[in-house]
Amino acid sequence: MDFLRNTRAISKRELASYFESPVAYVFMVVFLMLLGFLTFFVARFYENGQADLRGFFFWHPWVFLMLVPAAAMRLWAEERRAGTIETLLTLPVTAGQAILGKFLAAWIFIGLIVALTFPIVLTCAYLGAPDRGAIIGGYLGSLLLAGAYLAVGMLTSALTRNQVISFVLSVVICLFLLLAGWPPVTDLLVHWAPGWLVRCVAAFSFMPHYEAFQKGVLDLRDFAYYLSVIVFMLFGTHLVLENRKAA
């Protein structure tokens, strides 16, 4: 009872705070314009002559790489810098409720922005008969990927009171997790490393799991992968907060 109420209250406050500053609007505009540009001019959506959103979803991991850490960097770093973490964590809430509340708020925020790409789905449906499963899978994968990025950003945000440091750290970590399964990187390993190591490194990567969703394949293992990344990162955040609240 308390758990739900506190998590919801913190989540609501955090979500509102995105919209109380210009942050939310800057994000929306940048995300939508960037994605639009990449889909139509780089991936050549029209010229391809295929009614699918592969070119659209292909860019999500790269656009998220910039935007999601930026949305996550303030979550704890700002609380630390302004000292509000002291007021927040001396309320009758647990650190777990605060972490989950903030995470959900940021995830909903990203979800809202991703939802604003709906015109491209309509366009696609107007032009042809796209594979519905692939689109639903694409969006699901995109949301889960955003969640994993966010969880990484949350951990780096808890580590520092400086938002820039948090941003850079989480971009680097996310980039690594993204590239670990990217063929050019795995090709580097293939020539000398044993196969199990290549598969192991690649399995840590966001990419293969993301691609499965894009094809419309909803595999429980891919869900489990993203959820375990999220849980692991949030748990790390909890440890960090417990150990260095005042730092």
Partner 1 sequence: MLAVKHLQKSFGLIQAVRDVSFQVDRGEVLGLLGPNGAGKTTTMRMITGFLPPAAGTALIMGHDISAEPVQAKKQLGYLPENAPVYADMLVWNYLAFIAEIRGFTGRAREERVRQTIESCRLTDVQHQAIGTLSKGYKQRVCLAQALLHDPPVLIMDEPTDGLDPNQKHIVRTMIRAMAARKAIVISTHILEEVEAICTRAIIIHNGAIVANGTPAELKTRSRNHGAVELTVTSPSGDLVNKLQGLAAVARVESQLPRVIAYPRASGDGSSRLTQEIVSLLKANPEWNVTALKTLEGRLDDVFRELTESKQGT
Closest approach, Cβ 8 to partner 1, in A, equals 8
Closest approach, Cβ 113 to partner 1, in A, equals 19
Q: Can residue 219 be called a binding residue for partner 1 (CB under 8 A)?
A: no
Interface residue with partner 1 among 28, 89, 173, 218 (CB under 8 A) is 89
Positions in 18-47 near partner 1 (CB under 8 A): 20-21
Choose among 26, 10, 170, 182: nearest CA to 97: 10
Positions in 67-86 near partner 1 (CB under 8 A): 82-86
Interface residue with partner 1 among 26, 29, 42, 91 (CB under 8 A) is 91
Contacts of 167 (CB under 8 A, 6+ apart): 69, 70, 73, 153, 156
Q: Can residue 245 be called a binding residue for partner 1 (CB under 8 A)?
A: yes
Interface residue with partner 1 among 47, 49, 90, 221 (CB under 8 A) is 90
Q: Can residue 93 be called a binding residue for partner 1 (CB under 8 A)?
A: yes
Q: What backbone torsions phi and psi does residue 148 show, to the nearest 5 degrees?
A: -65, -45
Closest approach, Cβ 139 to partner 1, in A, equals 30
* Residues that bind partner 1 in the complex, under the rule CB under 8 A: 2, 5-6, 9-10, 12-13, 16-17, 20-21, 82-87, 89-94, 242, 245-246
